[in-house]
Amino acid sequence: MPSTAQTGAAAGPDIGQASRETRERVATACAVLFRLGLTDYLGHPSMRVPGTEYVAIKPRHSEAIRAMGSIQPDEVAVIDLDGKLVAGTHHPPGERFIHTGIYRARPDVSAVVHTHQSLATIFGVVQKEILPILHVEAPLVARGIPTYPSPELIEDAERGAAVAAALGDYDLCHLQGHGIVTVAKTVEEATIAAIHLERLARANYMAAQIGGTPRVIPTDEIERLHAPMVGYKVRWAYYTSLVEDRTLPANW
């Protein structure tokens, strides 16, 4: 078994049941993102540990931490808002500052997801707008998507703060030439936002291939659509079922 020195284990505070439950939720988010092909071994979801100043986050990839679909709750790292490991036996990701920067700037945000999902990322590269053309997903991009205009890795607090500034009060952001970020009150909602963003990017791409001008759902219709939609827990139950039963087709 790897030693503490090898894994970066921290003899931090006992943060109890809240930490265990949060780590389980982050591990499930990792599995869902992997099952749907939005991540491989790169990318990371995180969530604040309720009642603390700590964050549970997918650990850094290594020879031990491989595909995101295999991450176990006890492998999830817990860090403070300076990015320092306080609990867990594996190092946090180098780009943990995406998360800590956003959490410092946005007290309303309790979860962050960063992925390199292909289509949404390419839309950011070519600076082409992802239009609200699907009813379920339209509210996510009704205001557009801000952009952090650099492919550089976010490996320090200064760049993390710059990403948070680019995000502003939005719920998602392009990291141009790099990936995307989504934020929400729960890791489940932030994960669903990443899924919905890729669905919209795919729909926009397909519409462009077919030709013609897609009908963009106007703001007043989006507002009316938003109210009667099912809650995120219904959608999450479907996505977790894909993890629980791998014989099911990963339709999303």
Q: pTM for this structure?
A: 0.92
Q: What is the pLDDT of residue 16?
A: 77
Averages of pLDDT over each 10 residues, the chain, 252 residues: 41 68 97 96 96 95 89 95 94 97 98 98 98 96 97 97 98 98 98 98 96 93 81 94 88 69
CA atoms within 13 A on the CB side of 237: 5
Structural domain spans, the chain: 18-238
Helix 96-105, helix 157-167: angle, nearest 10: 60
| 18-238: CATH superfamily | Class II aldolase/adducin N-terminal domain (3.40.225.10)
